Structure 1
Amino acid sequence: MTAPIKALQKKDIAEALGCSIRQVEIMIQNGTVLKPTHIGGMVRWHPDMFRKWFDDRFRNHDDEGAREVTEPKIQTEQRAKKSPRITMGQTTAVQRMLARQRKTLTFA
């Protein structure tokens, strides 16, 4: 009798790769990890298929799939953009909250 096959879940893949479950989800979207099988609402990998992908990926790694990590490009306009200034007569939410607290704490 053969042993039953236990399909791998996202947490198993994350553990094997040494990353978070969220990172596995991002890798699925980017196509950088073996494509999973969807069963109902579940995402699963066949253990043998994942092991083969894992071995191929790490034994034959030649930096082809490596990506250069760069700082995200931010528009100079966005960098220069400052928060709106509060002019006389305008109050912030914090100022209004503090005013309400003062009113409730004053004694007649």
Structure 2
Amino acid sequence: MSVHLAELERVSRVRRRVGLLVTVAVLTGLGAWLAGPFGIVMLADGDLAGWLLAGAGVVLLAGCVTAIVFAVRVRRGIAPESFQGKANPGFDEPFPSQDPRPGIAWAGSQLGSG
């Protein structure tokens, strides 16, 4: 049972880490969205402080992308990719219904079918 609890705790830690990284990505993305365009507008007006804001926007955008990439990489620890396995032999074989009464799909079984 302790193996299951250890795995549950590991998954919980990974989920917290992913949640933190997603929060950081959202906040830095919002900061980049606010700082970058405002800095470009200030540059267009000739204000040199626009360089500072545009640079901050670029740095925040890079932080956002980095946080997203790390969140995806950390998330793989929770749900590993599925691999090709042995095919289920009964999957493609149709089984007839055990119910002898016809269903809706039977031709002529509905009102108005003629």
- TM-score, normalised via structure 1 length: 0.29
Higher relative contact order (CA closer than 8 Å, sequence separation 6+): 2
> Which structure shows the bigger proportion of residues in helix conformation?
2
TM-score w.r.t. structure 2 length? Answer: 0.28
